[in-house]
A and B are shown apart, each in its own frame.
Chain A
Amino acid sequence: MNRRDTPPLLQIKDLKVQFATRAGIVQALRGVSLAVRPGETLGLVGESGSGKSVTSQAIMGLISPPGEIIEGQIEWRGQPLVGAQHTAHGAGIWGKEISTVFQDPMTSLNPLMTVGAQIGEVLTHHLKMTRAQARRRSAELLAAVGISAPERRLDEYPHELSGGMRQRVMIAIAIACEPALLIADEPTTALDVTIQAQILELLVRLQKELGLAIIFITHDLGVVAGLCHRTSVMYAGQIVETGESDFIFEHPAHPYTQGLLGSTLRLDVSEDELLYIDGLPPSLISPPDGCSFRPRCPLASDICRKAPTHAMTGGGTAACWHAKTPAWDGMDR
């Protein structure tokens, strides 16, 4: 099956999001475009502040003042979903066809509602189930995400559950309506390493069983490698490189991607050989013109003062004038 032939489920076109703060206007997303096709897993990778979570919030219609979508469009199955001027058409899609698992399971559940109520309200609202039906289905969902004694858990409150269990509950809520797209926003970051693996396994299994498309948001390239068909790398509110995961990991084209990979702990590289990228990501209040990675990039040249075009990389594209040039060879590691 060639996924590229099927029309995308979700398409983001040149999305620009701003947040008004006291210090000034933060340009959180500066023209992000991406597409997700049915059944596909897209990894969205970047440092904190790169815009990956804002992207997921934009998809879910969660950008609210002081944040604002100023340009661009998000489409769902070819129909407008979210646009500028707070236009949104997500009722009946969010929570049903697109759902989300957030980073921190400790705070993502309402502390005053039982687990059963929090799963059940999705079912009664979106699928018009009766309470009894919803309760039965909730128990099944808990079982499906690997929670034992699901009937009993329905009446428990979040504080009575461990972090891993809560994240399973979040996943149960997310898959309750058998969505087409699941946005997993750093779903394992706050969990113990052993639990992380279990949750990832669960997501993989569910994807297979339900034919889900997943946008997997993480700062951890290692997680992406094993999980995602395609990967988009974000930097300073823009996608700097995108492509087939296998290809990107083998042949990173953008100097930032190369640096990111170089700084990731791997079995074949010893710790003292890890790369350290000098400097900090630019301020998004007044980002540099041209390539935003320029101040930190060893390949930076005059041309980089102009906004880079997207160069084809074989597996995808990279927004760099010097794409595919190894940037960090011979640098201090």
Chain B
Amino acid sequence: MGSYILGRLAQSGLVVLGVTTVVFIVTRVFGDPVSLMLPLSATAEQKAAFAHQIGLDQPLLAQFFAFAGDLVTLDFGESLWQRRPVIEVIADCLPNSLLLVSVALAAATLMAVLLGAIAALRPGGVIDKAISGIALLGLSMPQFWVGLLLILVMSVYLKLLPSSGMGSAAHLVLPAITLALTPLARQTMLLRSSMIDELNKQYVRTARAKGMPFARVLIVHALRNTWIPFLTLAGWEFILTLAGYSVVVETVFAWPGLGLTAIQAIQRGDLFLVQGVVFTIAVLIVTVNIVLDILFRAIDPRIGLN
């Protein structure tokens, strides 16, 4: 187990380095951060001075080695936009995103298990059709639109919840619901179909023939067998949500998280911050994958350690 994890860590390190290198190249080859950062009226001398200051006048290879060297110490340089260390900016906004994403996904996952299992009990029944229909609806509604709709109803008309910002638990409700909707729909559909598969399997029939109470058959026997595809999806949703959907949702709800920071960093050509954000996301992705791998091995004895 120990050597397996070491191997995975080494492999993950390479992935992170690869992703970061690609971002390094992309941010420098496409687009000119200097003219993005400075006012339109900046003179050529001011631009040259700025390029020199942030090291962009160096040869690409020299820049890369300096960059890679700093990476080891988690030094991504100073954000051009916020004029403070990138690591500080990320340390400020990452916890906000993690809070939002965790709450949204925990809620989505619990609901998905409940709804998916209920739907699977009578495939094709009224409840199943209702749940599947709602899930399909959830999948087909763009989050941007859902977010604004929720704001309109819950904040503007009913004045029940704040429309944007962060602070109290109430601020969390609308963005979390918006963020949860798509994962909820997808996870419900997946759990429903794997649950139907499992419930039709012979071992479930055995368990029922053993006289086990239905709840036990459902939860202890069938549900556990859906975990691997379900957790695979849940991990994927976590990554998608953190690195993708959160950009839209955090923008709509002015939630000061990684997604909002990322989109603003891109708009402002803050290549150092972009690099830091991408690195962070890459690290999160490989971490999620390693955690999932370990979980799979804990759940399913058939998966070996190799």
A94 close to B302 (CB less than 8 A): no
Known A-B contacts A111-B225, A112-B301, A157-B302; A122 and B211 likewise in contact (beta carbons under 8 Å): yes
A96 close to B211 (CB less than 8 A): yes
For this complex, 27 residue pairs linking A to B, each with C-beta atoms less than 8 Å apart, are A60-B209, A62-B205, A62-B209, A91-B211, A96-B211, A100-B206, A102-B202, A102-B206, A107-B202, A107-B203, A108-B202, A108-B203, A108-B205, A109-B203, A110-B225, A111-B301, A122-B211, A125-B212, A125-B213, A125-B216, A126-B211, A157-B301, A157-B302, A159-B301, A160-B301, A173-B206, A173-B210
A94 close to B209 (CB less than 8 A): yes
The prevalent SS among residues of A at the interface is loop
**B297 is an interface residue with CB less than 8 A from chain A:** no
Count of chain B residues near A, Cβ 8 A = 23
**B299 is an interface residue with CB less than 8 A from chain A:** yes
**B171 is an interface residue with CB less than 8 A from chain A:** no
Kindly list chain B residues whose C-beta atoms are within 8 Å of the C-beta of A90: 211
Q: Mark A113-144, 1 if CB is under 8 A from B, else 0.
A: 10000000110011000000000000000000
**A165 is an interface residue with CB less than 8 A from chain B:** no
Q: In the complex, A122 Cα to B209 Cα: how many Å?
A: 10
A102 close to B205 (CB less than 8 A): yes
Shortest C-beta distance, B302 to chain A (Å), equals 5
State the B residues within 8 Å of A (CB).
122, 125, 201-203, 205-213, 216, 220-221, 224-225, 299-302
Q: In the complex, A60 Cα to B211 Cα: how many Å?
A: 9
Q: In the complex, A78 Cα to B163 Cα: how many Å?
A: 67
A108 close to B211 (CB less than 8 A): no
The prevalent SS among residues of B at the interface is helix
Q: In the complex, A93 Cα to B201 Cα: how many Å?
A: 22
State the A residues within 8 Å of B (CB).
57, 60-62, 65, 90-96, 99-100, 102, 104, 107-113, 121-122, 125-126, 157, 159-160, 170, 173
- How many pairs of residues, A versus B, come closer than 8 Å at their CB atoms? 81
Kindly list chain A residues whose C-beta atoms are within 8 Å of the C-beta of B208: 60-62, 94
20 more CB-based (< 8 A) A-B contacts, given A94-B208, A100-B206 = A60-B208, A62-B209, A90-B211, A91-B213, A92-B211, A95-B210, A95-B211, A96-B211, A99-B209, A100-B209, A102-B209, A104-B202, A108-B206, A110-B207, A110-B225, A111-B225, A112-B299, A121-B212, A125-B213, A170-B206
Smallest CB-CB separation from B228: which chain A residue? A112
Smallest CB-CB separation from B201: which chain A residue? A107
Q: In the complex, A94 Cα to B213 Cα: how many Å?
A: 11
B209 close to A111 (CB less than 8 A): no
**Which of A112, A121, A157 is the one whose CB lies under 8 Å from B224?**
A112
Shortest C-beta distance, B228 to chain A (Å), equals 9
- Most chain B Cβ neighbours within 10 Å, of A90, A108, A173: A108
Kindly list chain B residues whose C-beta atoms are within 8 Å of the C-beta of A110: 203, 206-207, 221, 224-225
Smallest CB-CB separation from B204: which chain A residue? A110
Q: In the complex, A328 Cα to B203 Cα: how many Å?
A: 42
Shortest C-beta distance, A196 to chain B (Å), equals 19
Kindly list chain A residues whose C-beta atoms are within 8 Å of the C-beta of B205: 57, 62, 102, 108
A95 close to B212 (CB less than 8 A): yes
Q: In the complex, A109 Cα to B301 Cα: how many Å?
A: 14
A111 close to B202 (CB less than 8 A): no
**Which of B122, B202, B209, B213 is the one whose CB lies under 8 Å from A65?**
B122
Shortest C-beta distance, A86 to chain B (Å), equals 12
Kindly list chain A residues whose C-beta atoms are within 8 Å of the C-beta of B206: 100, 102, 108-110, 170, 173
Kindly list chain A residues whose C-beta atoms are within 8 Å of the C-beta of B216: 121, 125
